[in-house]
Amino acid sequence: MKKSGIFITGTDTGVGKTVVAAGFALALKALGLKVGVMKPVATGCQGFEPRLHSEDAIFLLEAAENEYPPLTNPVRYRNPLAPSVAAVLERKAVNVAHIHHAYQELQKYYDFIIVEGIGGLMVPLKKDYFVTNLIREFHLPVVIVAHGGLGSINHTLLTIDAAVIRGFDIRGIIFNRVSRVNVSLAEMTNPKVIHELSGVPVLGTLPDIDGLDARNCCFGDLKEIFEERIQFQKVLPTPTVPA
Ligand SMILES: Nc1ncnc2c1ncn2[C@@H]1O[C@H](COP(=O)(O)OP(=O)(O)O)[C@@H](O)[C@H]1O
Ligand SMILES: [Mg+2]
């Protein structure tokens, strides 16, 4: 299979990128793919150097059962800030070359790499360099994770706009934590409205998943629910038919 992957971005931080990235890892692994995961830059990491670690990266590593942890999260900061800001505070610039090296190494081991961004598209990593720059340099299509409730039309369309003007291939939107009971009017109508206004496909909707606890690496029924509700195969490259 051709080496490929997907970049998981979101309308905001805390919207469910890590959960969705883990869902893709669990579902694609079950198809028999060699799936790698990457969190290129993490802030708000736990512990101290050299054991500074990202909870997101650990959750993704557990989901994908990867064996090369140092490559998964090459750049880490302790302070819960945008990377460019944490970098100044901690006197350690974001090393983009280091990120690229890790990404290239991961491609040697895995067929499909799931990359989780940090925050949304316009989070700065350093001067004049945003998450969008990383996406362009990785040459990856994107999935946008959004909340389904009131406010999501604006947040999601802004994110789609920022992606479209940069020529990104948006594979779809996933709405996360949509209520199972007492679904709000906004949650009920937003996916269709956002699809109609943007033309971007909706890959599915995830509810709140019992037993899912990223902090403690508990997946609950994430795999089964993801497989059932998300059109996850749409992120795979379409096979080229020989002429
Ligand atoms: N569908 C879900 N069901 C239950 N908990 C969820 C769900 N999606 C996210 N969470 C929880 O919400 C928090 C934020 O989600 P996370 O995936 O870490 O967001 P992001 O990566 O965008 O910052 C985490 O504690 C996670 O466990
Ligand atoms: Mg995350």
Residue at 243 is within a domain = no
Residue at 88 is within a domain = yes
Q: How far apart are CA 42 and CA 62, in angstroms?
A: 17
Residue at 57 is within a domain = yes
- Cα distances (Å, whole numbers) of residue 85 to 50, 75, 125, 126, 143: 21, 14, 8, 8, 26
Number of domain units in the chain: 1
Residue at 167 is within a domain = yes
Q: Is 10 in the pocket of ligand 1 (CB under 6 A)?
A: yes
> Per-10-residue mean pLDDT for the chain, 243 residues long?
85 98 98 97 93 95 89 97 98 98 96 97 98 98 97 98 98 96 96 98 97 93 98 90 69
| Threshold 0.95, pTM exceeds | yes
Residue at 242 is within a domain = no
What is the per-residue pLDDT for 3? 66
| Domain span including residue 147 | 4-235
Q: Is 117 in the pocket of ligand 1 (CB under 6 A)?
A: no
Strands 218-219 and 212-213: antiparallel
Residues serving a catalytic function are 39
Nearest CA to ligand 1 atom 20: 14
**Which of 19, 144, 216, 219 gets mutated to test ligand 1 (max ligand atoms within 8 A of its CB)?**
19
CATH code of the domain covering residue 166:
3.40.50.300
Residue at 241 is within a domain = no
Residue at 193 is within a domain = yes
